[in-house]
Structure 1
Amino acid sequence: MKHELRLASSENLAGGTATNILRVASELVRVVSRTGSDLREVERTVIEILSATSELPVNAEEPGFHPALLALVREVAGQHEARDDRYRALLDTVADITSEDDPDRLLGGIADRARRLLRADVVYLWLAERDGEYAHLGATSGGMTSELLDLRVPAGMAMTGRIIESGMPLIVTRYFGDPNFVHFPDVDRVMEREKIVATVGVPLVNGSKRLGALIAANRDERAYTPADLDLLHSLAGHAAISIERSRLAEETKTALRSLEDANRELARSNAESERATTAHFTLSQVALAGGNIDNLVQEVVKIVGGELAVFDPDDRLLADVGDLSGTAQPPELIRQAALARTTQTSGSLVAIPILAAARLLGILYYQGDETPAKPDIQILERAAVVAALLLLLAEAEAGAAGFRRDDFIDDLLSGDEAPSRLIHRAAQLRMELRQPYTVHVVRAPLQQRRLAYLADEAAKIRGGLAGQSHILQRGNKSSVVALIPGNDPRSNSAELSSAIARAGRVTPSVAGAGPARAVAGVRELFDEAVTCSDAMERIQGGAMSGTLEDLGFVGLVLSNRPNVDRFVRTTLAPVARYDAAHHTELLSTLEALLATDGSPTAASEVLHVHVSTVKQRMQRLKDLLGDDWRTVDRTSELRLALKLHRLNQNTLEADA
């Protein structure tokens, strides 16, 4: 077998003896490595090399030659086997990491395999962030602390930053004294706790992409060899490909999930659009077919489910499907929607204002089994628009058919129309005649139509109505009549007067009577209110509100239905209640004073008490009856009330 010997010529022997020995040893190792394990071939080749490099003859029979040659062969073979074992392990590692799809397990597997291949104490796998400004720890194997997990290393800092930035490997014999990279305090602190001494690191590169760095470290002194570096570099190359493949796979999965979500959202959107189109057509048909609010509510519930009701601006129920009609008081959400003029939601509840321009026509109130989705709310809002159209149409139809307030009030007072018809017409005008209500006559120095409008606006707040009546005209002027729900004509008169005064900046005269139920006796109450209004105008100039009872004995005389007991109680009740509560005798003292023309001395003789006692009682009477209790008008009323009381001793029992 012919060999090309580098040291065959005498020129290769130039230099010192030590150099020659090293060259010969190197050539021997190289030749033995190439020759294989055939001892005879190795022996012949070695003799040729030694003969070419020595002036003395080489004798293969020299004692010790064959044992030395065998030791050389074994050493070279051992090194080859160790290298082969490491590369077989590398191939196994490559096979494992290329088959791993989970990103976290992939990074952890690379770190574990790198530590075993290099027999290192710790391995760190750092990943560069996409912007290249920082790197973070992707995985570690053999480390004793977790402080690096949340650490971000700036570009160019620490051994990691140096390797990623330069793209070159780095072997460090003593970590803390190495000047080849910029030390980063946070990393150095961890390295000190890990007691790291020697390190070797290579970049993770895939094509032109620098993905990170793979660094092996030992806690004792170790001189990493080029073979170690080559092995780690080979592993890093395959690892970078696997990491990039894993990243691309994850991005693909994310993109597919996004695409699936988009497809589902598109399908849902198409379904909602189709549902909304169907709802719009259905609701429009209700209006086009001449339907009403009840029909609309029923159709909406068929589409969105749940319970639905429509209230007018005064919280009166117009239509409903479900159990919402039993609501005693309107929910707060309805008031919020009416005030804000926008859709209000709270859990499964929705309140939507029904608007015509800036005018509030009512509230659409919905209660679902669960929180309604946005498409359902949009359908409800479409329903509110249709409801506004239906309410406006109903209002226009009511006016065109003669359901005007003026006509209704005239027909109510005349009694020429059937009660059921009047009740129905009142309902169209949002007035409930089946509940108690009071009748009022309103007068003020205003144009009658203006006064009627102000009275109607004020009455609507209480669920009533007002208009002009021509049943009883004063000259060329009609009467403004108001109907207000309630049992107390005095309180209703005061509230109506106050509301008109605020809106019209005028002090009206409001005379009340009642209460009435249904339509029976309304004309009598109207006549009583007119009588009261005439009397107030003559007595007080008209600028007051109240009932005939508030006019004292004048009202008692003028009333078509005089209530003596109520007159007595109204006049004397404060004194009677005080006597009952404090066991005093103010009522008898008042009677004695009136009988003696208000003289304390004469009254004390009648009562058989000291005059100072009478004076004290007079002060108490002033507190109870008012400062005018001794005027002529008041004393006349008090005398009459006392006389009527004496005629019927049980008159004040209810108050006593």
Structure 2
Amino acid sequence: MEPSALTILELLAEGAPAERLQAFAARARRGESDARSLAAVEEGVRLARTVHERCEQRRQREAGLSALLSVALELAGPLGPRSLLDLVTRRARLLLGTDLACVVLPGADGGPALVRAADGHVSARTVGLALPTLADLGDAAVTGAIPVWTPDYPHDERVRHSPALDAAVAAEGVRGVLVAPLGRGGPGGALYLADRSPRHFTHEEISLVGLLGELVGAALEKATALERARTELSALSTRHEQSERRLRTTAELRELHHRLIGRALEGAAPSALTEAAAARTGGALRVLAADGTVLDTTGGAPAWGDEEGDGPATVAAHTAGRPVALGEGRWAAPVRARGTALGTVLLRQDRPVTDTDVQVLGILAEAMAVLLLGVEAGSSAAPGRRRDGHLDDLLTGPSPLVGQTGRYPLDPGRPHVVLVALTKTGELGRAVAWAALHAHRTGGLAGERRDLLVLVLPGTDPGQAARAVMDELAPLLDGAVTLAGAGPVTHQAAASAAFEEAHQCLDAMIALGATGCAASARELGFFGALLSDDRDVPAFVHAAIGPVLDYDRQRFTELTKTLEAWFRSGGSPTYAAQQLFVHPNTVSRRLERIGGLLGPDWQQPDHTLKIQLALRLHGIRQSLLARRGGAPDEITGRPG
């Protein structure tokens, strides 16, 4: 063997770098060796360099596999999905020596893909970036289950670009990109590695990143399953704790129910029941009788203000027939037995009301019902029931309105008015509950009679009293309420007659189509008696003067006023013109128009009587509707 060959082998054995082989070849070229020997040296150096490169590739592959094994060991640890993604991006970037690494995962329920983690990024918009898909490279990698790369992404025309990804790439200055799918049929995401300068990735690098993607996909699937299991275990533990708390609460409520019912059967004072309930809720409790009388107030939470809000609270609770929320920290529960309203229990507290608080409120209401049904409770704790029981006696019995012994709880020195109200079907119970409280506050009586709400209140003007009650009651009801009044009266015989008069006035208002209004029999005059028998007044008015009313409404004319002035002046156009402050010729032209609308015989005696009556009825109806707040164009002669 020639000395030069031995020298080359020695250099390979020593692991000398490629530069020393090149230097040896250069010395041989400078020497005086013949051409044959020089060619042998050149060939030996070339072969030695090939061997050296293969050894170097093997060392790099071994180093990459060693690093990959180290990553696999780290991924096998108990990591959550977030920590795992941070680890992957950091180690993947170091493994290939790239400038940037990030993981993109598909969105939930078909949403856009998101950049879930990144390392080496310089733009704040990278992490969390939403992409309609994984972009062209990512889709190709996931679909083909192999890594995909490009040496210069911004200038590679083979890649289908997306505006969102291109903007992120420009912000990061990315050029060379290598994408590997995560797992095999796993989450469906992709691992992106990128350099900020053009880069041609080697086969060893591509293979190494492919293996890393498989490891990451498996680890991510395991971490996701572990996180899901932890969440389910935590939820199961929470449900178990909640179930135990509910069992304890149920036992405590059962014990409270037995204790309060037992105390109620023993005839304990209302305060004994409310104090026991207040100790459980921590709020303030108030018990009202059916007429609004405060039977007891206990608890130290929010201070109780005036009683103006108790009426709507009572109405709401008795309408629902169960505890109802009145606002933040305020609830009301009805006290009922055998369909009879006995009172209301109110709760107020600073903190939010819980389901347990509502159940305690219901238990207290039930115990109060038992207490108020007792003999002693009926004589000492339910003044509202005794008070409402006098209404039938007042309207039917032979005694004075207020006797010397005070048989009826009304002020003997004041006159009273009688009001009758018709409510929408299903609203009477709510109206009666409110009326009981209103009567208690004003010193009157309230109740139900003939499917109507009846109030006997102190006052001298029944119309004004009816409208005052309308203003308070109407906002509490879902449908319209119609109120009629009569009086004032000071004796029971007059009260009974006033009730019939108010009832007759109510019938007249219904016949006039003036539902939703409030008036008195005095305000309707003789028309109240005339219209009390369910006559269809709107149809009568429309048949008599409907064309004139429609003409005025559509053209904003004053034919109706002209007709009324003409009748008041005894049929004289001149006097009618003076009343209307117009020229007599104007009145004549209007009368001609009226004749064209009502017919040529409208001035015949029988027709004029019908027209005058219709005008009076229309005027009363218009006045009632105006009091209700109806707009002028709502007041027509059309039948309603």
TM-score bracket for this pair, using the shorter chain length = 0.5 to 0.7
Other-structure match for 2:256:
279
Which of 87-96 and 232-241 deviates more? 87-96
Q: CA deviation at 1:67?
A: 6.3
SS of alignment partner, residue 126 of structure 2 = coil
Which consecutive unaligned segments of at least 5 residues does structure 2 have? 1-8, 16-35, 419-434, 447-454, 470-482, 493-520, 523-640
1:44-87 CA distance string (max 9 Å, x none) = xxxxxxxxxxxxxx999966787666655544333322322222
How far apart, in 1, do the equivalents of 2:194 and 2:303 lie?
79
- In 2 relative to 1, CA 506–223 (structure 1 residues): closer, same or farther, beyond 3 Å? closer
Q: CA deviation at 1:269?
A: 1.8
1:209 aligns with 2:189: no
- For the 8 Å contact 1:493–1:510, the answer to whether it is kept is no
Other-structure match for 2:333:
352
Which consecutive unaligned segments of at least 5 residues does structure 1 have? 1-31, 40-57, 416-421, 445-454, 467-481, 485-491, 513-542, 545-656
1:191 aligns with 2:207: no
Match of 1:151 among 125, 129, 135: 129
1:462 aligns with 2:442: yes
Other-structure match for 2:578:
none
How far apart, in 2, do the equivalents of 1:177 and 1:356 lie?
85
Other-structure match for 2:460:
494
How far apart, in 2, do the equivalents of 1:61 and 1:175 lie?
44
Other-structure match for 1:91:
69
Alignment of 1:95-106 (within 5 A): 95-99=73-77, 101-106=79-84
Q: Which amino acid aligns with 1:169?
A: P
How far apart, in 1, do the equivalents of 2:438 and 2:364 lie?
30
Aligned CA-pair RMSD: 4.9
Other-structure match for 2:364:
383
Match of 1:320 among 297, 303, 326: 297
Match of 1:241 among 194, 213, 218: 218
Size of the aligned set, in residue pairs, is 414
Q: Flag the structure with more relative contact order, 1 or 2, with Cα contacts below 8 A and sequence separation at least 6.
A: 2
- For the 8 Å contact 2:153–2:175, the answer to whether it is kept is yes
SS of alignment partner, residue 197 of structure 2 = coil
1:338 aligns with 2:307: no
How far apart, in 2, do the equivalents of 1:339 and 1:359 lie?
14
Q: Which amino acid aligns with 2:346?
A: Y
1:223 aligns with 2:214: no
SS of alignment partner, residue 237 of structure 1 = helix
How far apart, in 1, do the equivalents of 2:54 and 2:440 lie?
112
- In 2 relative to 1, CA 371–128 (structure 1 residues): closer, same or farther, beyond 3 Å? closer
How far apart, in 2, do the equivalents of 1:83 and 1:74 lie?
14
Percent identity of paired positions between Structure 1 and Structure 2: 22
SS of alignment partner, residue 494 of structure 1 = coil
How far apart, in 2, do the equivalents of 1:456 and 1:351 lie?
17
1:270 aligns with 2:244: no
How far apart, in 2, do the equivalents of 1:38 and 1:158 lie?
48
Other-structure match for 1:142:
120
Q: CA deviation at 1:171?
A: 2.4
How far apart, in 1, do the equivalents of 2:54 and 2:436 lie?
117
How far apart, in 1, do the equivalents of 2:59 and 2:302 lie?
93
Larger Rg: 1
How far apart, in 1, do the equivalents of 2:98 and 2:349 lie?
66
Other-structure match for 2:499:
none
How far apart, in 1, do the equivalents of 2:239 and 2:106 lie?
31
Q: Which amino acid aligns with 2:316?
A: A
How far apart, in 2, do the equivalents of 1:181 and 1:325 lie?
69
SS of alignment partner, residue 174 of structure 2 = coil
1:300 aligns with 2:277: yes
SS of alignment partner, residue 196 of structure 1 = coil
Alignment of 1:9-158 (within 5 A): 73-99=51-77, 101-131=79-109, 134-155=112-133, 157-158=135-136
How far apart, in 2, do the equivalents of 1:224 and 1:374 lie?
65
Q: Which amino acid aligns with 1:463?
A: G
1:413-466 CA distance string (max 9 Å, x none) = 677xxxxxx9xxx9xx9x69xxxx64468899xxxxxxxxxx999964523679
Other-structure match for 2:287:
310
SS of alignment partner, residue 222 of structure 1 = coil
Alignment of 1:391-402 (within 5 A): 391-393=372-374, 397-398=378-379
- For the 8 Å contact 2:415–2:488, the answer to whether it is kept is no
- In 2 relative to 1, CA 265–120 (structure 1 residues): closer, same or farther, beyond 3 Å? same
TM-score by length of 1: 0.52
How far apart, in 1, do the equivalents of 2:463 and 2:73 lie?
96
How far apart, in 2, do the equivalents of 1:234 and 1:164 lie?
14
1:364 aligns with 2:348: no
How far apart, in 2, do the equivalents of 1:263 and 1:154 lie?
41
1:569-591 CA distance string (max 9 Å, x none) = xxxxxxxxxxxxxxxxxxxxxxx
TM-score by length of 2: 0.54
